[in-house]
Structure 1
């Protein structure tokens, strides 16, 4: 890509590892009282005053999790933070700090890495998260991004995957399948471009699903909403691998079954129409596509009145006893066993 070919670019070898770290971290400002010491020593120092600390980590690899043919580096930096913050939100907790580790091949100039970090810093600023450390290294496999996120919560507020009870309502935030359809669109335009570089990408009117793929947002607002209306979910997970996979995770770990209604699954009209244009079933895209980073959670039936009028939360089914199985009820009323066909981290395939 021409972002790496410009003669005015700075070779990272000119700075060296310590010079690069100093260059990238010189403007970091710490905002959380719990961050005693951030970047610049052998280890960060944190103090949480009796709170419970949550930790999660994710790794993104070039050619596996992202394609730089259509992923701007700034968007990639932003997304790499968001997918980690989402894991903390899925525990009903508040993300507070991250560490950022980068492996890069020699094709990456200083300016390219600065662009990546611009997105990282933008996400951290927007979600009030401190960067407290990390690592940099050369890589022979292209770009590798590894983020570790720390969060904080009162012990009584933490929500796990295994707390769903029979009769609980199954809820999901936002809408589903958009990120997967954005990916299909970008992949199609990439192939057309490779066949004829003179043809410009045709993405007009598809901003929403493109953004769902390239610039997802962790649903910290849903966590705030639940806190405001005094609803504590009984189980929760983020939708990273497709709705079906996440529902099955909750059911398996809670030792329960479920009834999931196809007609209740929230799908944006643009997602629906784009799926049809690709001869795909929109429901399958929502069930198996992944990368929506919405929150799937269960609540007690007694909390129904508190949440029923929120336009950004859909009630899509309910929890049953384990013996009843995990079922998808089609729009026609047919009962199908719910199966997961989502992201396979070791097969590098998306099934849709």
Structure 2
């Protein structure tokens, strides 16, 4: 980082020097990364593997609020969210390109802070930053990212592929990230009324971290491979479980039945939603930004998966004519509908 203790304006350094400066904090570590941000385009050698690419876009006051979102966390989440899409196809994220639109509110030091978060997440998951572009913005901060990953052709898993009677599985727990967002927004509203009052975030660490610092479930993909399980279909849960499951069923031309009692909800998430007078199942189905993995497996793979940590079997695939349904705790059958979290 720069040793200058004062504020250094982006205009003082210039775009090209700033890109070079921020890029100096990164070293390529993957053999497939032949050329990084020093060229107009990155040069990648993938050998006999398939290349996966995805892009994300986050806009200030639409996707994030800097009133409670530290720039370092935003940098981390930018990488994690993009990586989750690669993981959602049974792939391994390997390279990322980032585009930044920043108004004159943001100094070089502020962009360094964002970049520190990017670096932290990249190093944690073995991802190389191979592209970085910065331009001016009249609307605050805009972050675009393109993630590149690889997967062997025989291991590629798409949304299409689920078949009748297969088991529906999901990693981790659901609704925590959205619940964390509700708490952060509540405290922002309190602060707006009384700026002298400190945020009351004690006891909410887990759900707030799930919102500010999500993790792509690379570990789940690794565990499935070790167990000898190749899912028949898979999707990243970023806009709610119901949304993801309906996408999977649509692409696979099938129906589904899931059970409310099987939905994995963390106790803190449940208790916080109860405090807010919100039904936990609603948020488990429709809360966004969980970045968990939803997938289907053949019934014969149940013995392999039943002892894996953080994997829940929540239902099964049915014929398309049977519809997409949730069986409630009181045994009522309700048609699944995505209520439309639009975080991405």
Residue pair 2:223, 2:308 contacting (<8 A) in 1 also: no
Q: Distance in 2 between matches of 1:41 and 1:240?
A: 32
- Deviation (angstroms), 1:266: 0.2
Aligned twin of 1:23 = 21
Q: Distance in 2 between matches of 1:105 and 1:84?
A: 23
Q: Distance in 1 between matches of 2:25 and 2:335?
A: 52
Q: 121, 124, 127: which one pairs with 1:123?
A: 121
Q: 311, 314, 324: which one pairs with 2:312?
A: 314
Q: Distance in 2 between matches of 1:268 and 1:247?
A: 20
Q: Distance in 1 between matches of 2:177 and 2:212?
A: 8
- Deviation (angstroms), 1:275: 0.3
Aligned twin of 2:259 = 261
Q: Distance in 1 between matches of 2:295 and 2:129?
A: 29
- Deviation (angstroms), 1:345: 5.8
- Deviation (angstroms), 1:134: 2.5
Q: Which runs of 4+ in 1 moved over 4 A?
A: none
- Deviation (angstroms), 1:207: 0.3
Q: 239, 260, 273: which one pairs with 1:275?
A: 273
Aligned twin of 1:350 = none
Q: Distance in 1 between matches of 2:25 and 2:278?
A: 46
After TM superposition, the structure 1 stretch with the greater mean CA deviation from structure 2, 39-48 or 122-131, is 39-48
Q: 117, 139, 160: which one pairs with 2:137?
A: 139
How many corresponding residue pairs? 340
SS where residue 311 of structure 1 aligns? coil
Unmatched tracts of structure 1, length 5 or more:
1-6, 347-352
- Deviation (angstroms), 1:309: 1.2
Q: 5 Å matches for 1:192-271?
A: 192-271=190-269
Q: Distance in 2 between matches of 1:65 and 1:303?
A: 38
Q: What RMSD, in angstroms, separates the aligned Cα atoms of the two structures?
A: 1.0
Q: 58, 66, 69: which one pairs with 2:67?
A: 69
Aligned twin of 1:295 = 293
SS where residue 183 of structure 2 aligns? helix
What are the superposed Cα offsets for residues 261-282 of structure 1, whole Å, 9 maximum, x if unpaired? Answer: 0000000000000000001000
Q: 5 Å matches for 1:76-155?
A: 76-155=74-153
- Deviation (angstroms), 1:342: 2.8
- Deviation (angstroms), 1:43: 1.7
- Deviation (angstroms), 1:27: 2.4
Residue pair 2:288, 2:343 contacting (<8 A) in 1 also: no
Q: 5 Å matches for 1:31-50?
A: 31-50=29-48
SS where residue 197 of structure 2 aligns? coil
Q: 1:129 to 1:294 in 2, by over 3 A?
A: same
Residue pair 2:289, 2:343 contacting (<8 A) in 1 also: no
Q: Distance in 1 between matches of 2:278 and 2:75?
A: 30
Q: Distance in 2 between matches of 1:186 and 1:43?
A: 39
What are the superposed Cα offsets for residues 24-61 of structure 1, whole Å, 9 maximum, x if unpaired? Answer: 00121001111111111222111111211010000000
SS where residue 140 of structure 1 aligns? coil
Q: Distance in 2 between matches of 1:80 and 1:217?
A: 11
Residue pair 2:8, 2:108 contacting (<8 A) in 1 also: yes
After TM superposition, the structure 1 stretch with the greater mean CA deviation from structure 2, 84-93 or 39-48, is 39-48
Q: In the alignment, is residue 189 of structure 1 matched against residue 187 of structure 2? A: yes
